[in-house]
A and B are shown apart, each in its own frame.
Chain A
Amino acid sequence: MITATFSLVLLGMLYTSLMEGDSYAYSTELISLFLLWIPPFLSWRRVVDVPWPIILMIGVTLFLHSLGLVTLWYYSTFWWDKLTHFTTGIVVAAFVTMGLLIIMENSKTIRVQPKWMIFFVFIAVVAVEVFWEIFEFTMDNTVGTDMQHSLEDTANDILTNFINGLLVGVGAAYYLSRHTLENFVKGLNVDRAVAWFRRNLTEPPPPG
């Protein structure tokens, strides 16, 4: 339902961008539509059931990004870029947290107590942001895209994700102090994916 609603909105924006001949905007909206349908696809393939608040946040983020391109608010409103980076950071932080919780639930040798989740989510989110900046820089210098603008932009983006990391880390710690990890991971239906990882990516136990 959430995905279908945001798809309709994005299709409307795609139509507008096509009419205006804005190639950057319509290619972005096409990619956004593709990204929007990844969680339902993963659920259909029984890889993971992404919780609905995260799907909603993905929709909001992609909508705001496309809206900024269609209305040109990216160029006229100085805080639009900060807003979309903030919402994107929240989505990335939520996925990082999900990954960490899945690893914790399925490992006998990793245990992270709720209060320490703040630290581990924080460092993971900031690291993802640094990787993203490196990716943008590499793309700009190899493919010729125009993803990075200035040092100020880079510093602000990283700072935004320092805040995102802290916020989601505190949120995760709060959630885990009131719910069991087992129930959360059970709701994600990741058994099939975990079994695949165990089969293909972990070392076999020593003989005997």
Chain B
Amino acid sequence: MRGGLQVGASYALVIVLASGFGHAVMEQDPFWSFMALMGVFATLLPVALSRDPRNILPWWFVLLIALPSIEGLLGAVFTMHYARLTNAAFWIVDISSIFMISLALLLTIRAYSSVQMNRPFLVGSTFILFQVFIGAYCVIDYYFDQWLGTDHISSNADFMVYALISMIGSLVLALMLNYYLRIYDINKFQLEALGEGARR
């Protein structure tokens, strides 16, 4: 059973995610607005399905999801246009967040629906769902750039480099997750991530 402090930390991070959504909307950044909303959705979905507020994702899970929001908010506080320490940090933050949102959604499907997934299928599906978000990034930002006159994706090469590095990053994370679940057990991990409300 999770302690009240841990659950409180997760809810505090949901507030950060919601603020990140507000900030991304103000910045006219459609993809990260969408991802912040997806983050809130993925974090609170187990709570809604189990009808138990303690079954929110653990704080470390939500922290990884909220990293881009934290980064964006820090940028706003320190009056930089956008906090970008180094390119490597930027890639790690974005890729980790999208990967954890994908994993949270698929774990919730595994726990609360009749779908059965073994370890390789869960890891493979997480990797695949990650690519869908990258595809959504291209479609959403391209059409919003056309509509709002913004310049989130400046060229095809700009997007393709992002997609290529994201694919490699997500592959590394998928291999790490596969290794972790091999030694830790997928059901134990699911229980730890989603709490005791999961049906299976």
Contacts and interface: CB of A to CB of B under 8 A. Distances in A.
Contacts of B138: 151, 154-155, 158
A123 B109 CA distance: 14
B113 A116 contact: yes
Contacts of A150: 156
A134 B167 contact: yes
A200 interface: no
Interface in B112-146: 113-118, 121, 125, 127-129, 131-132, 134-135, 138-139, 142-143
Interface size class of B (residues with CB under 8 A): 20 to 34
A151 B128 contact: no
Interface stretch (A29-37, A78-86, A103-111): A103-111
A110 B156 contact: no
A130 B164 contact: no
B118 A109 contact: yes
A129 interface: yes
Interface in B53-97: none
A41 interface: no
Contact of A137 (B116, B139, B164): B164
B41 interface: no
Contacts of B164: 134, 137-138
Contacts of A129: 135
Contacts, number: 90
Interface in A110-155: 110-113, 116, 119-120, 122-124, 126-127, 129-131, 133-134, 137-138, 148-155
Contacts of B118: 107, 109-110
A162 B163 contact: no
Contacts of B139: 155, 158-159, 162
Nearest to A129: B135
Given A111-B115, A133-B163, A134-B167, A154 B131 contact: no
B34 interface: no
A173 B171 CA distance: 29
Interface string A67-81: 000000000000000
Contacts of A131: 131, 167
Given A137-B160, A154-B159, A112 B128 contact: no
Q: Which 7 A-B pairs have the closest CB atoms?
A: A109-B118, A155-B142, A127-B131, A111-B116, A137-B160, A151-B156, A127-B128
Interface of A: 103, 107, 109-113, 116, 119-120, 122-124, 126-127, 129-131, 133-134, 137-138, 148-155, 158-159, 161-162
